[in-house]
A = this chain, B = another copy of it.
Amino acid sequence: MLHLDDEDTLDRTFAALAHPARRAILARLARGEIASVTALAEPFDISLVAVSRHVKVLENAGLVSRKKEGRSRRCRYEPAGVARAKDWLETHQQYWSAQLEALSRYLKDGE
């Protein structure tokens, strides 16, 4: 189950998650809502242009997809992106857990 995940993709994924507005947008879409850019922008004090670019960052990270529908865009959650980030974290968390006992022993001896 060792998938050679593209480092750049992981970079873009974590970087996309590192901004509160983008996390808020993603959280909203993750609830199942399929929203336009204008609708997504509504809670924010920043310009629509800025929100549009936040959505683009999420899209480039594979966390969100955008489909043109008339003159608006239907933005939707893409579960694969979040799964990718979670997988990376879990891999290393699990590895750590497996080694926890050995580490614990080491710390006792070393300190």
User: How near does chain B come to A5, taking the closest CB pair, in angstroms?
Assistant: 11
Chain B residues contacting A108 (CB-CB under 8 Å) are: none
Copies per complex of this chain:
2
Are A96 and B19 in contact, with the CB atoms below 8 A? no
Q: Which residues of B contact A89 (CB under 8 A)?
A: 17, 82, 85-86, 89
Q: Chain A 98-110, CB within 8 Å of chain B: the 1/0 string?
A: 0110110010001
Who on chain B is nearest to A86 by CB? B89
- The answer to whether A96 and B30 have CB atoms under 8 Å apart is yes
Q: How large is the interface on A (under 10, 10 to 19, 20 to 34, 35 or more residues)?
A: 35 or more
A49 CB within 8 Å of chain B: no
User: In the docked arrangement, what's the CA distance between A8 and B83, Å?
Assistant: 23
Pair A26/B93 contact, Cβ less than 8 Å: no
A11 x B15 contact (CB < 8 A): no
Inter-chain contact B27/A95, CB cutoff 8 Å: yes
A-B contact list, 13 entries, CB within 8 Å: A7-B23, A10-B20, A10-B23, A11-B20, A12-B18, A14-B17, A23-B88, A26-B92, A30-B95, A32-B102, A34-B106, A86-B86, A89-B89
